[in-house]
Structure 1
């Protein structure tokens, strides 16, 4: 896995939005409004719009309205046709038969070669794509047969989620496929909308493609609003004001303003999962947390239930795993597998590990103080700051020196990639397949690889190796067990499944895996 993939994990995590669900259905009077404008708030500028470089969740949210994927995920979490009308899955490959009559936004046909070129471009080291090894599995290759109308994605060996991986690969077609620089602030896809205006930091305007008739499960653009505006609104309070006033039609809320939206009249609301919150221990050779007994003791010193409430502002749910909904493997990998809260046992464990309290109360061993540098992103709201302070206080009572280090997104990515200047990091994860985590949780350590925490859990690695050779459904028990293996040795500690309030006014829509589902948008009032 490439080094940029570490930044990809941080990016996918830091701006993860809603993950599934539909805004509460509003009564439609006379059917949907197709001549109006649907305005949707996004929390930050998406940056470069080339899908091969799309790291942040907000970027993929914007891309999702202009680009198609081979397959998609239905409202029930099952894989449904999109660009591909059918597929044939083998242990190490999947062959897709493309729909006929699909066109790009410049009216050129979408061919199997277009699809194959996208996958191979991302896999090409020269492209330096940060999504290689995450959205496109490491080792994947694509081969087209234009005469047969098929494209085959293959892996060097059996791979559980070879079909499911295709739902995350946006297909660039037409002129943009030949000139990637041309789509830095433009789109060239077969999706239901085409970008017509980009004003970085303010808004992105799209127009509906009325000839679009090849959406997921046969969705069309016939009932879509003529215009879609992605409005950059970094402040949730501002977004709440705009939604209540009716100047925007949709937004997601994770902070204090969600309570105001919940009681606002005329607003459709849906509470959905928004990824997870957990922290990692650095296991480099020079770190005290390389010792599993130290990691377990530190975990035992925390009341994770209280910590979850603090981190989420009381709006989260008990953590159940590492993969976002709709997850392919259903099950709770957390309960009974995280060291239980027991402050006395934590202190005894550190004593037994040779860490004795010093004159100032800080534990030492072989002349070295038990000191931890705790890093977290300041962009995730006040809950994470409060969670960091709560953890620091609990560990100080245990005799640990804690240095809090709140940083901006880019600094967090830099520390994960190269400087490695941390001992504990709070890092939400926003992936939809367990296979997307393997390179981050095993293999070469940073900075040579993507294993930023220097994890070396042999049981996890063995279970993943076994699961990877099985079809997704058959391999799920081992995939789930592999996550539990990480928690049992406190390699990382799952704390909370966060939630987000998806709200709409004058419109209904659906979100899936952090992105707006464009074919689900319906204006119920003139926009």
Structure 2
């Protein structure tokens, strides 16, 4: 698999991570209020707005207002029509029949050729798209039949989730197909809103399309209460966002940290709690790393009280981790319980002794003259819970005889350190994906920096199970996909700690989200109570 980088699996950086479960933030104020402006806080600037380059969750939140997808995910997790009205699925292909009434924001008609151009552009090595091999399966090609109104996506060999991979592929149409440079700070899609103003690091303004009639379930932009304008305001500080929500200067925001409590207690505030990704840590298994030895990995895992760590990392708002894929999962099941080495400090010490790591006079273990040193990498921008979790891990491992150095960095530096410099031994890395296939390139295959396998995993059982699962239709392969995750945990390749949650809050408005993206036709302004 080609090297896509690791940004696609980084907690809040991942388009796949924020609020993977759908939910409604519904302000309990008055009735609907026609028109108006819906203002929503985003935590950082979305950067380049070309959907083929969209790996950041904030980028895809922005893009979800202006772009549609071939299919969508319904509230129950089932695939429902989007730009395509129907489809025919085979093990190595899916043929979509497009709706005939869809137009782009510039007035041009959406064609199968447009759709095929999107997929083939992402798969083109020259495009260097970071979503290739993650959202668009490796080797996928698209072929259009404009006369028949169909487009066929095919893969070199059977691919389990060939249909399920399409609801996260935004389709560019119109002028953006021919000239993608216009997508840097503009939009060219078939969605219900069009970007009219982009002020980096400040705000992004969208205007409603009055001619939009192909939303989910036949939704249009003529529904009462839909905002005429949407402003996405860059508000990096959650306390500031909470203040603006309470005052009514914002209509919506997603909040991770301690400000959740006062928002939940605020009169007239709509709120819903949603899954936002999994908190876990990876061990670097490069040839020169202590965690290359599975006995060391398992011992270090046994030295941690994961239940305590979960509460610390999530500031008490998390849920027990049950797997790597977020709800609504295509494969239901708990892959964690009974598959992670249990907390046992005495057993951890004995295992490290047996592995040749003996404690010195200073309490630090060493083997063959080399100290047991662990460089713990984590993102400082993920809130106080992650900082506290890193400190908890360091204290526990120091007690077990390791010399731990904390390396807190901002999100962009985290990606660089994981993939390029490789200067880490343990990394706290939130993950949020909707399909198990989206993780395969990061958990197997060529190691970084040549590939996306940033922690140098080489789990033969995982690879065997995945190889078998990928050749089966989605449901038939589920038992294998679930077993493959458990194989990672049993080998202590990565350690699931907690399923984190976020609070989605609304004031004088209501809206639905799915997979961290807006369902734009659900946004309604409500009268202040």
Superposition TM-score tier, normalisation by shorter sequence: over 0.9
Alignment check: 8 A CA contact 2:41 2:235 kept: yes
Q: CA deviation at 1:211?
A: 1.1
**Structure 1 stretches of at least 4 aligned residues deviating more than 6 Å after TM superposition:** none
- Give the aligned partner of residue 142 of structure 2: 142
Distance 2:22 2:247 in 1: 24
- Give the aligned partner of residue 509 of structure 1: 511
Residues 1:344 and 2:340 are matched in the alignment: no
Distance 1:410 1:284 in 2: 22
Helix, strand or coil for the counterpart of 1:213? coil
Q: CA deviation at 1:301?
A: 0.3
Q: CA deviation at 1:13?
A: 4.2
Distance 2:75 2:40 in 1: 20
- Give the aligned partner of residue 173 of structure 1: 173
Equivalences for residues 281-360 of structure 1 within 5 A? 281-360=283-362
- Give the aligned partner of residue 219 of structure 2: 219
- Give the aligned partner of residue 54 of structure 2: 54
Q: CA deviation at 1:298?
A: 0.2
Alignment check: 8 A CA contact 2:35 2:525 kept: no
Equivalences for residues 87-486 of structure 1 within 5 A? 87-223=87-223, 224-486=226-488
Question: Matched residue pairs, number?
Answer: 526
Helix, strand or coil for the counterpart of 2:10? helix
When the two chains are superposed, the root-mean-square deviation of aligned CA atoms in Å is: 1.5
- Give the aligned partner of residue 490 of structure 2: 488
Helix, strand or coil for the counterpart of 1:481? helix
Distance 1:456 1:370 in 2: 22
- Give the aligned partner of residue 20 of structure 1: 21
- Give the aligned partner of residue 36 of structure 1: 36
TM-score, normalization by structure 2: 0.97
Output one character per residue of 1:213-268: Cα deviation in whole Å (capped at 9) or x when no partner: 11123222122211111111111111111111111111111101000001000001
Distance 1:443 1:285 in 2: 16
CA spacing shift, 1:465–1:12, aligned 2, 3 Å: farther
Alignment check: 8 A CA contact 2:30 2:528 kept: no
Helix, strand or coil for the counterpart of 2:518? strand
Q: CA deviation at 1:515?
A: 1.6
**Gapped runs of 5+ residues in structure 2?**
none
Q: CA deviation at 1:5?
A: 3.2
Q: Which range moved further: 423-432 or 491-500?
A: 423-432
Output one character per residue of 1:441-471: Cα deviation in whole Å (capped at 9) or x when no partner: 0001011100000000111011111111111
Q: CA deviation at 1:478?
A: 0.9
Alignment check: 8 A CA contact 1:23 1:503 kept: no
Alignment check: 8 A CA contact 1:326 1:512 kept: no
Q: CA deviation at 1:12?
A: 5.9
Alignment check: 8 A CA contact 2:29 2:528 kept: no
Q: CA deviation at 1:278?
A: 0.4
Output one character per residue of 1:18-70: Cα deviation in whole Å (capped at 9) or x when no partner: 2334335456856x333111111111110110001111000000000100000
